[in-house]
Amino acid sequence: MSAPLLSVENLVLTFPAENRRIAVVDKLSLTIARGETLALIGESGCGKSLTALAIMRLLPKPGRIEASSRIEFDGRNLLELSVPEMRTIRGGAIGMIFQEPMTSLNPVTSVGDQVLEAVWLHEKISRAAARARVVELLHMVGIPDPRARFSAYPHQLSGGLKQRVMIAMAMAMRPRLLIADEPTTALDATIRAQILALLRQLSSSTGTAVLLITHDFGVVNEIADRVAVMYAGMIVEEGTRRELLSHPRHPYAQGLLKSIPRPEARGNRLVEIKGVVPRPGRWPTGCRFAPRCPSAFDRCRAELPHRTTVSASQGAWCHLVEYEVHA
Amino acid sequence: MTMLSADALLEVRGLKTWFPIRSGVLRRVRGQVRAVDGVDLTIYPGETLALVGESGCGKTTVGRSLLRLVEPTGGNIWFGGVNLSRLSLKAFKPYRQQIQIVMQDPGAALDPRLTVRDAIAEGMEAFGLGSPGAQRTERVADLMRRVSLDPELMWRYPHEFSGGQRQRISIARALAVEPALLICDEATSALDVSIQAQILNLLSELKAERRLTYLFITHDLGVVRYFADRVAVMYLGRIVELGRTERVFAAPRHPYTQALLASIPSLDPDRRGVKPMALGDVPSPIAPPSGCHFHPRCRVRLPSCSSYDPPVVPLPDGLSRCVLAERCADAKPEPERSATAAASALPPQPKAEPTRMEPSP
């Protein structure tokens, strides 16, 4: 088996509060193989976006990546790289797109020139050749009439077109990994469908691996190969798309899927997850989901569960699953 | 003269809300944003009518126009036989008790300087309900219990609550004046899915208990399909399709509705692949396309769609504003399709035959 493209081990992210540091992501580990799309799914505040930022070493201050953490990308430990080295990685091997294309584009530079900058970061070619490459990229992400759009400014483009420009910029560097943080959340339904189809097609045609950050199981089903479900700074279950959507084992993953209003549920009460997500610093001892879990028992409240292997690809951090599997 | 149904709670005819675009030193009017451009709606007591559409389609402006939070440019709004649009703002005020609104962002909708008790009691004070002091406080406690909040927390401020709890406070505040119609404008859109389920369950309970009527404004078709009795689909200021929820999802009669439904990602691992069926982007409501507003994005358009306004085609349960719906409506009713087939419902393919059709002028 070849080494994974990205391997995150024991990632601990902390922020200061009063006179101590509070963990917001706690001993998180994940891997992404070359060409694979991994979805990191969870509700607001679970730490999924901070995990993505930490991988790029863009964790906002005063956040800190603790010393125990390891982030290995293509055989290099990203946490040991100098700032210029890291910048080369960000502008090359790892691309990133965000939820809000409106705030990520420079408003006073034409979109063509912005993509051109990205092209030049990656390859030293003539202006004419770079322009041709930009037009090719704009065409690849489905922007109609790319030659005319080259000189357009971001405010002249719709949200969907701006997100396409962001994707074109990220793809200009021919990245091996694309980190996509809620790439379709701010878009309308018909536009979201277009962008999902584009991401799926790009990752299969270019072989780019994708780390997808999302809260939407529908989006997961559309483009992910594997899924990791996060809750309160931890991964609580991981598995293939099919395993997670058809046979989730962790009560949180089960509850999340059941609480989605589906047509079959019409006329019936939706399954609720009682209570609210605990804030960092107020995480309970034991399993963090225990206070809201319908199946929690004494051990859950006392002891943090370890990973229980369910199948070659599926695992859950849950005492109940451990009993079920070993029964 | 428009026909009014005797049993309707609210009736909207020809509603127009335009916003002038001004520019230059003299602030001359250079154009109009036709946010709402001729909307007809009927809401019956006890029903949930969903108003769906993408951003900028005017759905929020419809809700705000009903409350006259923005002043409509034209059209009529009848509520219990009274034409609200003809009333002065002063004469209109009592109707704000009957029609309440819950908005998307409960953080912004609640005054940060009011305690939860005062926020919930504010409406009762404005409309003189109950006697001041202990009686109102007791009623606030009842309402808080009803929305599953601990009444002990009534002296706290909104920022001390989570998003889902703040939405419960907003709902309690709206219920405090015993409205007949509750407008929910993206009321669950900002919430996490597990919290959204709590709020949807609460709204269902209130509907059953109080025969509360909802105008449910949202972009989330999954929620609509679960929650609404009827659906109105808006596109660029107009309603393009209206009907019973089951029928609209099983057999949409407008190409835009079909595109919207095809864009819902499935949760079934065996059914992957949303179909981007609407071409390009939503045009600006400042200069909507000629003819059918949807024609530049439509995959089944006819040559005539760019020049003629589509007719309003009545359906047994509503309407569709599409030339092709007229053809469909003449045909026999479609056989019942299974609910899961809806997302894959394809529009009639534009083979050779429809292009010959000319609309009747």
pLDDT number for residue B328: 52
pLDDT at A265 over 50: yes
pLDDT at A174 over 50: yes
Residue B312 φ/ψ region, left for φ over 0, alpha for ψ in the -120 to 50 degree band, beta for the rest:
beta
- Residue A327: burial class (beta carbons within 10 Å; 0-12, 13-18, 19+): exposed
Handedness of CA B79, B80, B81, B87 (dihedral sign): negative
pLDDT at A308 over 70: yes
pLDDT confidence bin for B226, thresholds 50/70/90: very high
Rounded CA-CA distance A82/A80 in Å is: 7
Partner-chain contact B269 A259, CB within 8 Å: no
Nearest CB to B263; choose among A189, A260, A263 = A189
Partner-chain contact A262 B263, CB within 8 Å: no
Contacts of A263 in chain B (CB under 8 A): 225-226, 249, 339-340
**Inter-residue contact A322 to A253 (CB < 8 Å):** no
pLDDT number for residue B327: 63
pLDDT number for residue A83: 94
pLDDT number for residue B105: 80
Q: How do residues B19-57 score in pLDDT, each as one tens digit?
A: 988 888 888 888 888 899 999 999 999 999 999 998 888
CB pairs under 8 A between A and B: 123
Superfamily of B10-228 according to CATH:
P-loop containing nucleotide triphosphate hydrolases (3.40.50.300)
Partner-chain contact A266 B225, CB within 8 Å: yes
pLDDT at B336 over 60: no
Q: How do residues A81-135 score in pLDDT, each as one tens digit?
A: 999 999 889 878 999 998 877 778 899 999 999 999 989 887 889 999 999 999 9
**Inter-residue contact A270 to A261 (CB < 8 Å):** yes
What pTM was estimated for this model as a whole?
0.85
pLDDT number for residue B51: 97
Partner-chain contact A256 B194, CB within 8 Å: yes
Residue A298 amino acid letter: D
Q: How do residues B185-204 score in pLDDT, each as one tens digit?
A: 999 888 888 889 989 999 99
Packing angle, helices A127-140 and A111-122, rounded to 10? 110
Tell which A residues from 124 to 153 touch B, by Cβ distance under 8 Å: 144
Residue B27 φ/ψ region, left for φ over 0, alpha for ψ in the -120 to 50 degree band, beta for the rest:
left
Residue B117 amino acid letter: R
pLDDT number for residue B106: 76
Q: What is the 3-state secondary structure (H, E, C) of chain A?
A: CCCCCEEEEEEEEEEEECCEEEEEEEEEEEEECCCCEEEEECCCCCCHHHHHHHHCCCCCCCCEECCCCEEEECCEEHHHCCHHHHHHHHCCCEEEECCCHHHHCCCCCCHHHHHHHHHHHHCCCCHHHHHHHHHHHHHHCCCCCHHHHCCCCHHHCCHHHHHHHHHHHHHHCCCCEEEEECCCCCCCHHHHHHHHHHHHHHHHHHCCEEEEEECCHHHHHHHCCEEEEEECCEEEEEEEHHHHHHCCCCHHHHHHHHCCCCHHHCCCCCCCCCCCCCCCCCCCCCCCCHHHCCCCCHHHHHCCCCEEECCCCCEEECHHHHHHHHC
pLDDT at B346 over 60: no
pLDDT at B228 over 70: yes
Domain boundaries, chain B: 10-228, 250-351
**Mutation site, B207, B261, B281, interface A, largest A CB count within 10 A:** B281
The C-alpha of A198 sits at a distance from chain B's nearest C-alpha, in angstroms, of: 10
Partner-chain contact A259 B193, CB within 8 Å: yes
**Mutation site, B188, B189, B194, interface A, largest A CB count within 10 A:** B194
Closest residue of chain A to B275, computed from CA coordinates: A193
pLDDT confidence bin for B4, thresholds 50/70/90: low
pLDDT number for residue B3: 55
Nearest CB to B193; choose among A161, A194, A256 = A256
What average pLDDT does range B240-264 have in this prediction?
A: 94
Partner-chain contact A272 B192, CB within 8 Å: no
Contacts of A224 in chain B (CB under 8 A): none
pLDDT number for residue B163: 85
Closest residue of chain B to A45, computed from CA coordinates: B192
pLDDT confidence bin for B273, thresholds 50/70/90: confident
What average pLDDT does range A208-232 have in this prediction?
A: 95
pLDDT number for residue B356: 36
The percentage of residues in chain A with a pLDDT greater than 90, rounded to a whole number, is 66
Nearest CB to B201; choose among A161, A215, A269 = A269
**Mutation site, A221, A226, A271, interface B, largest B CB count within 10 A:** A221
Q: Supply the mean pLDDT for chain B.
A: 86
Contacts of A272 in chain B (CB under 8 A): 194, 197-198, 201
Closest residue of chain A to B246, computed from CA coordinates: A263
The C-alpha of A211 sits at a distance from chain B's nearest C-alpha, in angstroms, of: 19
What average pLDDT does range B98-106 have in this prediction?
A: 89
For chain B, say whether A260 makes contact (Cβ under 8 Å). yes
Rounded CA-CA distance B99/B109 in Å is: 16
pLDDT at B332 over 90: no
pLDDT confidence bin for A142, thresholds 50/70/90: confident
What average pLDDT does range A44-66 have in this prediction?
A: 93
